[in-house]
Structure 1
């Protein structure tokens, strides 16, 4: 399995994957809009041995307390159903973390399953003084610091890019 940055030639394959994995086309539209509006910080793909895109992960900037602090939002993350339970999503997340950390981004937030994301070190965002803009279960909104103390000077409401409001 090869994990790499998204290339222009991958965009149609990513679009098909998102439409295949999610129940509606909302996530595919979200990814296209984030790309078109320059809100794609990092987009990774997982390719099988034939070079087919079988997994995708995107990070985009979020604002904390109406300030751009460099914190990134993880969403969406998906793997083709035929390739699940093989650790591909975990590889995408770890590679994403390594790349964002290497580029100096301080932290990441995610809205998702706490049982899944806690294994990567995500903790309840409320532990860092963060709250989600949307009315979501507190335990589903989580944060991860690439460097300890990344949220010490940052707290408040977290707002994803405006494209997420269309979901």
Structure 2
């Protein structure tokens, strides 16, 4: 398996992958809108040994109480159904967590299953007085430091609303 950044030739393949993995086209439409509006910070694909795109992971900027701290939001993460449970998602996430700090991105947030994302050292954002703009189940909105500094150190007393790019409001 090869993990690499998205290339222009991957756009339609990623779109098909997202449409095949999620129940609606919302995530595929979101990714296309984010791409068109230049909001992608990091877009990774996982390719099989034959070169087929079998996974995709995207990060976009978020703000905290209106401040840009270079934090990122992870969404979406998708793996082709026939390749799920084989470590593809983990490989994508681990590559991203190596790459993002190299470019000065210190932390990220995710909205997802705490039992799944907990294995990547995410913890409840509410523990840091952070909340997202949507009404979500308790514990689903999570945060993780990507550097040696803790989330609390990076926040330096900040708290409040974590805002995603406006394109997310269409979900």
Aligned-pair distance for 1:154?
3.0
Aligned-pair distance for 1:55?
0.1
Aligned-pair distance for 1:46?
0.3
Aligned-pair distance for 1:15?
0.4
Q: Note the aligned Cα RMSD (angstroms).
A: 0.9
TM-score by length of 2: 0.95
User: Runs (4+) of structure 1 moved beyond 3 Å?
Assistant: none
Runs of at least 5 residues in structure 2 that lack an aligned partner in the other structure = none
TM-score by length of 1: 0.97
Distance, in Å, in 2 between the alignment partners of 1:59 and 1:153 is: 24
- Which whole-Å deviations, capped at 9, do the CAs of 1:12-37 have from their partners, x for residues lacking one? 10000001001111100000000111
In the other structure, the counterpart of 1:159 is 163
Aligned-pair distance for 1:79?
0.2
Distance, in Å, in 1 between the alignment partners of 2:12 and 2:76 is: 16
Distance, in Å, in 1 between the alignment partners of 2:102 and 2:40 is: 17
Aligned-pair distance for 1:138?
2.6
> After superposition, where does 1:97-116 map in structure 2 within 5 Å?
97-116=97-116
Between structures 1 and 2, the one with greater strand share: 1
- Which whole-Å deviations, capped at 9, do the CAs of 1:76-135 have from their partners, x for residues lacking one? 000000101111001101111111011111100000000000111101001122111111
Runs of at least 5 residues in structure 1 that lack an aligned partner in the other structure = none
Q: Does the residue aligned with 1:96 lie in a helix, a strand or coil?
A: helix
- Number of residue pairs matched by the alignment: 167
Aligned-pair distance for 1:153?
4.0
The answer on 1:48 being equivalent to 2:42 is no
